Amino acid sequence: MKINYKYFILLFSLLIPLTLGAQSPSDLRINELMVNNEDNLADEYGKHVPWVEIFNTSYNSVDIAGCYLTNDTTGFAAGDPSRWYRIPTGDPKTVVPPRGFVVFYLDNLPTYGVFHTNFDPSEPTSSNYIALIAQGGKKMIHFFEFPAYLRDTTADYTYGYKKDFSLADSVMIGDSLVKNKDKLDYFTPGAQNYPIYEATKAEIVQQKDKYGLALMVIAMTVVFSSLFIIFVLMKLSGRLNALIPTWIKKYKDKKQGITSEPSVKEGVEPTDVDSGEEMAAIGMALHLYFNTNHDYESEIITIETPKVHASPWAQKQLIHRRIPRRK
């Protein structure tokens, strides 16, 4: 069997972008920010500085190294990342685990380490946003805006998404529908923004259906409904497969001008109508078969050996011709 390698090359070329896209920094989002940090999280030097948390929304590990953090995107259109903070490569801590978090200190002291940026959002002249830009400096991953009142000395709280990053405008907190992006009630650097335990849907179903009877009925209904639908589809497909050759033949005959319908001309009886002669012949044959005497043969063949073993082939006078003579 001849293998067509073109399809394998095409499939491989389609899978490569999907694999790269699944592990790209495009899944990273700015999740939580604290600007006025007086006695909250301290860095490795014991200093309380502004910090930002980045959340990996995917289920793959993503390396944030090579990306940019900045609060000044004026050079974005021109592709000038000179004033941005480029996250150094080569540090294994820049790999964000699936659904994990990484914290950067916004202290304008990049010489302190990989996770210290070259800007400080607490400065009065700073912009009210933080941008995460992909490697190369040409693609904006996430643009995170925050209110200016976070710089107030009384703003001892963080700002971000109530239940980690999502595109929803509102989320359910307890029994209340609240704004998704707002002041947070908890300080959770490097962890989920809403640490309060909430029962999952499976746990809620288990509480309401203690013995699993409702779940069993639903499951059996789904299974038997699926089997019935499959049976109907198979039945219909069988009939359809039986009719398809007939439809194809009719289509080809019609395309070639061949009709399977008997033509009926004036004064000529249709060939598919019995004239009566055939029925008469069949009736006569049946009458003769049942009412006429027949010889019954024994169906035994007897071969007798002749008494004289003489054969014309053994008599030369019978096989020689006479020589013609003139008279």
pLDDT tens track of the chain, all 327 residues?
444 555 556 665 665 555 544 468 999 999 999 999 998 999 999 999 999 999 999 999 999 999 999 999 988 877 788 889 999 999 999 999 999 999 999 999 999 999 999 999 999 899 999 999 999 898 999 999 999 999 998 888 999 999 999 889 999 887 889 999 999 988 999 999 988 877 777 777 778 888 888 888 999 999 999 999 999 999 898 888 888 888 888 888 888 877 655 555 555 555 555 667 888 888 888 888 788 766 666 667 666 665 655 666 666 665 666 666 776
What is the per-residue pLDDT across 243-266, written as a single tens digit (0 to 9) for each?
888 888 888 888 887 765 555 555
Contact in structure between 58 and 98 (CB atoms under 8 Å)? yes
The CA distance from 33 to 146, in Å, is 8
Closest residue by Cα to residue 52 from 99, 122, 134: 122
> Which token pair is 149?
């009142």
Closest CA to 50 of 132, 113, 118: 118
**Contact between 127 and 146 (Cβ < 8 Å):** no
In the chain, which ranges are continuous DSSP H helix? Answer: 5-22, 201-208, 213-256, 277-291, 316-319
- The phi, psi pair for 53, rounded to 5°, reads -110, 135
Contact present, 207 and 199 (Cβ < 8 Å): yes
CA distance 95 to 106: 19
The single-letter code of the amino acid at 22 is A
Burial category of 325 from C-beta neighbours within 10 Å (exposed 0-12, middle 13-18, buried 19 and up): exposed
Given the DSSP bridges, would you call strands 176-179 and 170-173 parallel, antiparallel or unpaired?
antiparallel
The pLDDT of residue 21 = 44
What pLDDT sits at residue 35? 95
Phi-psi region at 325: left, alpha or beta (left = phi > 0; alpha = psi -120 to 50): beta
Instruction: State both tokens at 52.
Output: 């930002």
Q: What does the block give as tokens for 77?
A: 């259109």
pLDDT score at 24: 83
Instruction: Give the C-alpha separation, 134 to 26, whole Å.
Output: 7
> How many CB atoms neighbour CB 112 within 10 A?
16
Q: Which pLDDT belongs to residue 1?
A: 47
Which pLDDT belongs to residue 299? 67
List, in order, residues 6 or more apart from 193 with CB less than 8 Å away. 31, 32, 160, 161, 162, 163, 164, 184, 186
Longest dimension (CA), the chain: 162
